[in-house]
Amino acid sequence: MKKLKKHWKKILLGLSSLLIIVAGLGYWQIRRMGQVTVPEFVEIADNTYAIAEGMNQSGIYLLVGEEDAILIDTGNGLSDLPAGIKEITDLPVTVINTHGHYDHTRGNHYFETVYQSEKDAQVYAEYNTVEKVKEKMDEISPLIQLLLSAENETIYNTPIKEDVLALPESGSFDFAGRNLEIIELPGHTPGSIGLIDDATKSVFVGDALTKGGFLLGLEESLSPETQKETLLKLKELFESGRVTAAYGGHVNTAMTLEDVEKGLTIVNKIIDGDLTDEEKESGRISYQGMEVTFKTE
């Protein structure tokens, strides 16, 4: 009997030590997630590089030309972007934001020249406050909040770039041999834009479409009908053969026409009211691996 007690004591001691080690490692990992590190860009096409930054996998894309480079979005502020870019090119960098949300613009402060649609000026001003980040955190589960705690601390302390230049709403510009066209992709936010890169037959779409879906339930989001027009624009780009890949604002793997069509199916369901009671009530619909939020009355 005594032996058995001793045995259990040993097991308990072992288990509690293991728990302390796991908790310690978890804590260390969470702290590490909040550190600003030098990102390693991965080549996704000729002279085109990407990273997926932070827990939300914010997509940041670097397009290198002959005389200058364009950086599409700047993430959560968790990357020393100039140091990461220096590993690839010494060319001057111009930043274009796909929209004004803080998880795509917090690294703006590293750069001199940053463009963004004027239609997202209000979104940018509002989202780049500590209060807004905290408000967004209140909407998610306590576990995710805990996992994001160190990242958020870094986000709160990141300097905000105030002098953002107005991006022309549409039109093409030549940038060292690469023709880039700006297209408006409103829905997720009023000033969401995309960039078509003819050199690689790619379109960079921000949060207008991501592998995991899109958010239309935000206060600043526009109607599902507007989002439908946006997705039809992307569909046309694929069908005409002008692009073969779309890169979203989260998770930087290439999306195809199939992803656009999935998004269209969902948005049509919302427009037609073809929803379950639960979907209607929650303002959230999942379909084939995509999740979309929308405003409820």
* Residues of this chain that bind Zn ion (CB under 5 A): 101, 207
How far from the centroid of its chain's Cα atoms is residue 62's Cα? 15
Give the other-Cβ count within 10 Å of 130's Cβ. 11
Give least dist CB 101 to Zn ion, A.
4
Give least dist CB 251 to Zn ion, A.
13
Which tokens is 169 given? 């709403």
CB 129 within 8 A of CB 111: no
Match 């260390």 to its residue by tokens: 28
CB 226 within 8 A of CB 187: yes
When the beta carbons of 89 and 253 are compared against Zn ion, the nearer one is: 253
Give least dist CB 180 to Zn ion, A.
21
Give least dist CB 214 to Zn ion, A.
9
Which tokens is 250 given? 């989260």
When the beta carbons of 53 and 207 are compared against Zn ion, the nearer one is: 207
Give least dist CB 188 to Zn ion, A.
6
Query: CA–CA distance from 164 to each of 96, 100, 125 (Å)?
Result: 10, 10, 11
CB 92 within 8 A of CB 111: no
Match 């045995």 to its residue by tokens: 7
The β-bridge relationship of strands 114-116 and 165-166 is parallel
When the beta carbons of 184 and 207 are compared against Zn ion, the nearer one is: 207
CB 157 within 8 A of CB 131: no
When the beta carbons of 79 and 221 are compared against Zn ion, the nearer one is: 221
Match 């932070």 to its residue by tokens: 54
Rounded to the nearest 10°, the torsion over CA 8, 10, 16, 21 is -150
Cβ contacts of 131 within 8 Å, gap of 6 or more? none
Give least dist CB 8 to Zn ion, A.
52
Give least dist CB 106 to Zn ion, A.
12
When the beta carbons of 201 and 233 are compared against Zn ion, the nearer one is: 233
